[in-house]
A and B are shown apart, each in its own frame.
Chain A
Amino acid sequence: MAKPTEIKAAMERVESILAERPAKAMMTKSVTAESINGLQCTISDGEFTITADMPEVIGGENTAMTPGNIALSALAACLNIGYAMVFAKQGIAIDKLSVEVQADFDQRAAVAVPGVETGFLGVRYCIDLESAAERADILAALDDNDALSPVLQSFIKPVPVAREVYINQAQEAAK
């Protein structure tokens, strides 16, 4: 278990490296989802693998989190981890920290009902923490994190997206 002092030291070490060599900060990360059974798929980032599924009502088997909940999990985790790092960096001791993320959406978009707005219509995140620190210091640390949070900022600002499609590529390569 990394202690706050170790987390702070790691952050300062990374910041020092990136300040000296900004090119080190530019990264491309990937994951691959592979359809396995019906609507179930495994998703791997090369090191960790998780499974996603859909509810039975839309043809899945409800064996794992839905893709939407994985995306919300990413946001909840990004905020939670980000707060833990900022609190460690700023010397704010925390006894308990949790972040609940809620999202409103219209499932009709997923089955192509016309005229329906798609995507999350709004997200709410509720931070619940226990700390003896000054409330103003805690709120300032939360603000600092939110302004820089990679997943939060990827939801609240539009991200350019590109697509490539390969049909029977593996078969053609084998010929």
Chain B
Amino acid sequence: MAKPAEIKAAMERTKKIFSERPSKGRATKSTTAEMVDGIHCRITDGEFTMIADLPKAMGGDNIGPSPGSLARAGLAACLTGGYAMYFAARDIPVDHLSVEVTADIDYGSFHGLDGTTAGFQELCYTVNVDSPADPADILAAIEVNDAGSIVLNSFTKPVPATRDVRINQQQQDAGE
């Protein structure tokens, strides 16, 4: 288990490297979802794997979290991990830390019903911290994290998206 002092040292080391060599900070990450059975899919990021599915009422088998739940999980984890980093970096001791993320969504939008808007209507996150530190210091650390949080800012700002489609690519390759 990494201790706060080790996390702080790792952050300082990383910030120094990124400040001296900005190109080191730029990264591209990928994950792949592959249809397995029905509509459930296996997601792999190269090292780790998990399953996503939908409830039975929506045609799934309910054997894994839904994509929407994973999106909220990504945000909740990004905030929780980020706060833990900044609390360690600022020597703020923490006894308990949790973040609840709630999302309002209109499922009618997924079915194209009139008057609906696709995507989350609103996100709300609730941070619970138990700490003997000054609340002002805790809030300042939360502010700094939120300003740089990669997943949070991917929801609050529009992200350009591009699509590439390959149909029967393997069959074509095999036929060439």
* Residues of A that sit less than 8 Å from B by CB: 1-3, 6-11, 14-15, 18-19, 22, 25-35, 37-41, 43, 45, 47-48, 50, 52-54, 56-62, 64-82, 84-85, 88, 94, 96-113, 116, 118-131, 135, 138-139, 142, 144, 146-171
Contact indicator B131/A167 (Cβ below 8 Å): yes
A61-B1, A109-B148, A154-B155 are known contacts. Are A79 and B109 too (CB-CB below 8 A)? Answer: no
Interface size band for B: 35 or more
* B112 at interface by CB-CB < 8 Å: yes
Contact indicator A98/B33 (Cβ below 8 Å): yes
A50-B65, A166-B128 are known contacts. Are A73 and B29 too (CB-CB below 8 A)? Answer: no
Contact indicator A108/B18 (Cβ below 8 Å): yes
Contact partners of A123 in chain B: CB under 8 A: 159-162
Contact partners of A110 in chain B: CB under 8 A: 82, 85, 148-150
User: Separation in Å of the B140 CB from the closest CB of chain A?
Assistant: 11
Which residue of A28, A35, A78, A171 is within 8 Å of B102 (Cβ)?
Answer: A28
Contact indicator B50/A120 (Cβ below 8 Å): no
Which residue of A45, A148, A156, A171 is within 8 Å of B110 (Cβ)?
Answer: A148
Bound-state Cα–Cα, A139 to B155, Å: 27
Q: Which residue of A lies closest to B28 (CB)?
A: A104
Contact indicator B72/A30 (Cβ below 8 Å): yes
- Scan B3-16; emit 1 where CB is below 8 A from any A CB, else 0: 10011111100110
Other than the given A22-B108, A71-B75, 19 more pairs (CB < 8 A) read: A2-B37, A7-B59, A31-B69, A45-B73, A65-B50, A71-B70, A74-B68, A76-B32, A76-B43, A81-B41, A98-B35, A100-B32, A108-B18, A124-B162, A127-B163, A131-B168, A150-B68, A155-B159, A161-B155
Contact indicator A118/B150 (Cβ below 8 Å): yes
Query: In B9-40, which residues have CB < 8 Å from any A CB?
Result: 9-11, 14-15, 18-19, 22, 25-35, 37-40
Which residue of A30, A80, A81, A119 is within 8 Å of B153 (Cβ)?
Answer: A119
Contact indicator B31/A69 (Cβ below 8 Å): yes
Which residue of A100, A111, A146 is within 8 Å of B14 (Cβ)?
Answer: A111
Q: Which residue of B lies closest to A85 (CB)?
A: B39
User: Separation in Å of the B22 CB from the closest CB of chain A?
Assistant: 7
Which residue of A27, A81, A111 is within 8 Å of B105 (Cβ)?
Answer: A27
Contact partners of A150 in chain B: CB under 8 A: 67-68, 71, 105, 109-110, 118-120
A67-B77, A127-B166 are known contacts. Are A154 and B29 too (CB-CB below 8 A)? Answer: no
Contact indicator B163/A125 (Cβ below 8 Å): yes
* Residues of B that sit less than 8 Å from A by CB: 1-3, 6-11, 14-15, 18-19, 22, 25-35, 37-41, 43, 45, 47-48, 50, 52-54, 56-61, 64-65, 67-85, 88, 94, 96-113, 115-116, 118-131, 135, 138-139, 142, 144, 146-171
Q: Which residue of B lies closest to A38 (CB)?
A: B2
Contact partners of A105 in chain B: CB under 8 A: 26-29, 150
Bound-state Cα–Cα, A45 to B74, Å: 12
Contact indicator A65/B160 (Cβ below 8 Å): no
Contact indicator A33/B99 (Cβ below 8 Å): yes
Bound-state Cα–Cα, A6 to B65, Å: 20
Bound-state Cα–Cα, A81 to B118, Å: 16
Which residue of A14, A59, A160 is within 8 Å of B10 (Cβ)?
Answer: A59
